[in-house]
Amino acid sequence: MRPGKAPQSRAEAVRKRRASESAKRQYKKTTRAAVLVRNLHPDMVARPATKRSMTRPRKRQYNVALGARGSRVSIPALPIIEMGWRWASLTLTVAMAFVLYMMWNSNNFYILQAEVLGNQRIGTDEINRTLNLTGLSIFWAEPAVIENTLRESYPDLESISVSVDLPNYVTVVVAERQPVIAWQQGGETLWIDAQGFAFPVRGQAEGLIPVVANGSPPQVQGEVTVDGLSAAPPYLSTEMIQTLRLLAPYVPQDTSIFYDPSYGFGWNDSRGWIVYFGKTTADMALKLTVYQGLSDYLARNGIPATMVSVEFPYHPFYRTD
């Protein structure tokens, strides 16, 4: 103990020790926050960072070396944008919407007219007028609607196929029915094909079987399609078509076949009567043989018959009134 200096008490010694430890901790904290900056003056020490500067996020920087020794410049880097799946989805949606808008409003996607293939008697211009597609956007053209329109407008079309392609192409491929019978009834003439379907007369056709009817034929039941709807039924049954084809070679030249709902098919015999063979092909060879014998009998005996029926070959009859 030095002379002249009062001894320290225990409490004072504790206070000094605590103050010394606090000063050491503060020094370490200040030293840890200090930043040494290398520059032309290497002994320069930056001030301790404040609390505000320490909490601010650091920006990415790039250091560019200069020609002078010991010098450099820090240039801030461009921000890196990380796009998640939501941003990618939004970008794709906007791009698709823009493309659709341009396609919808571009003249390249508007139909000029349909290309029609396979038609013979029905004109291409007539079909296009019926479809009325000119100036319509290709996105509004529906093949099923176009096909239904043609089926309703042209019963003489046997098959229809429609395709729609970008940018503005509509192709219609059709097959027309081929007539075999010219059916006259009530001052109107219809053509009938080999399946019994009737359709309007268009142009000229050779080798048709002419039929003059004084009544409508029996109604034919329509077929049920895949979608459950009934298709348009034929006008004549296939059996009646076969009957006409069998009779046609025996009909006198320049003579039409008659049809009567009660007696069936027949023709005007040059000897003054009408002969009927019924509506079916059953026993047709026998009917023709019976008629030949009966007509010879009437002519030989001078009987003024007005009607002869061999529809039932085992029970033929004739009328004189």
Type of residue at 19: A
Closest CA to 247 of 269, 266, 219: 266
* pLDDT tens-digit series, residues 128-146: 999 999 999 998 999 999 9
Q: Indicate the pLDDT class of residue 75, thresholds 50, 70 and 90.
A: low
How many Å is the Cα radius of gyration of the chain?
52
pLDDT digits (tens, 9 = 90+) for 29-54: 555 544 444 444 444 444 555 555 45
Q: What is the dihedral of CA 105, 107, 109, 110, to 10 degrees?
A: 110
pTM value is 0.66
Which tens digit of pLDDT belongs to each residue from 192-248?
Answer: 999 999 999 999 999 999 999 999 999 998 664 444 444 678 999 999 999 999 999
Structure tokens of 260?
């009567």
CATH among 1.10.3720.10, 3.40.50.300, 3.10.20.310, 3.30.1340.30 for 110-175:
3.10.20.310
CATH fold group of domain 177-319: Rossmann fold (3.40.50)
Tell me the domain boundaries of the chain. 110-175, 177-319
Dist. CA 246–CA 269, nearest whole Å: 17
pLDDT at 58: 56
C-alpha span between 6 and 104 (Å, rounded)? 103
Note whether 274 and 258 are within 8 A (CB): yes
pLDDT at 314 over 90: yes
pLDDT, tens only, 143-184: 999 999 999 999 999 999 999 998 999 999 999 999 999 999
Whole-number mean pLDDT of the chain? 81
The pLDDT confidence band at residue 109, using thresholds 50, 70 and 90, is confident
Residue 110 has pLDDT above 70, yes or no: yes
Rounded to an integer, what distance in angstroms lies between the CA atom of residue 219 and that of residue 31? 111
pLDDT at 313 exceeding the cut of 80: yes
Confidence of residue 288 (pLDDT cuts 50, 70, 90): very high
Query: What pLDDT is attached to residue 227?
Result: 45
pLDDT tens, residue by residue, 51-60:
554 555 555 5
Q: Is 60 exceeded by the pLDDT of residue 70?
A: no
